[in-house]
Amino acid sequence: MSTIRIGVLQLCSTGDVDANLAALQREVEHCVARGAQFVCTPENTGWLRIGHADTPRHRIDQCPTVARCSELAARHGIWLLLGSTLLWDRTSELPTNSSLLFGPDGGVRARYDKLHLFRVDLGPDTCFDEATHVRAGQRPVSAEMAEVRIGLSICYDLRFPELYRHYAEAGCRILSIPAAFTERTGRDHWEVLLRARAIENQAWVVASAQWGHHGGNRTSFGRAMLVDPWGIVVAQAGDGVGSIVSELDLGRVDTVRRSLPALEHRRQI
């Protein structure tokens, strides 16, 4: 495959699962109508009230967000990345923040549990410690998607470049970074970090995003975007719920890596 048409969602998830899933389905179908073969949703697609006592405790086989994504992938014959949802197992008190890649048959082809858990203290409006509510994952995960390898990550992982270098060395040409960046950190860091990861690894960066106010003191920055292997932003969402659709030229990865073979020049230090 030399190109893939991709849809990248920007949502405003809250504690209302039904409303979240309705918005998810609407935006996925908008992307499919514009020819998307692969659709990516943001972090916390089905629920964004982490740590609240009423947070649903779903296992993977019970989760309505997982079921809806599986159904949408199969109905439209697309690849679909559920940016993340909280999943419990039978033994742990805390869930994982998990990203799932669905194939065109609706089956789960890969699962990644968020490795790096977000902690920030910038005052009462931007103070959060994900580790008090979520259990960290244990390993990187990449997967083959229609003849192209994709590396999976979630939000705060973006600040740890060694994860993406691992994916580049594993042959990934697409880096997936679904997120719910806070408004304050996103304003200054989101685009800079996404472009850096694309430039460093000479790969496409696909960054779906949460946007807007989610209840309580949670507000996300948004600006879902696609960044090419040279670090150029080729598509970006504005304010509001919606989606962007664009063609990814996978040959662009090979061209950039040949013309500026920085990955080959790396020395162990």
Q: Which of 238, 219, 167 is nearest to 197 (CA)?
A: 167
Q: What is the pLDDT at residue 127?
A: 64
- For the annotated catalytic residues, the residue numbers are 43, 114, 155
Cα→Cα distances 176→117, 138, 205, Å: 17, 18, 6
pLDDT in tens, the chain (269 residues): 799 999 999 999 999 999 999 999 999 999 999 999 999 999 999 888 766 667 888 899 999 999 999 999 999 999 999 999 999 998 888 999 999 999 999 999 999 999 999 887 766 666 678 888 899 999 999 999 989 999 999 999 999 999 999 999 999 999 999 999 999 899 999 999 999 999 999 999 999 999 999 988 789 999 999 999 999 999 999 999 999 999 999 999 999 999 999 999 999 88
Q: Cα–Cα distances in Å, from 68 out to 20, 72, 124, 142?
A: 11, 6, 35, 23
Q: What is the pLDDT of residue 245?
A: 98
pTM of the model: 0.95
What pLDDT shows up at residue 181? 95
The confidence score (pLDDT) of residue 57 equals: 87
| Token pair 């662009």 in the structure block, residue | 252
Which residues neighbour 220 within 8 Å (Cβ) at sequence distance 6 or greater?
12, 180, 181, 182, 183, 186, 209, 210, 211, 212, 214
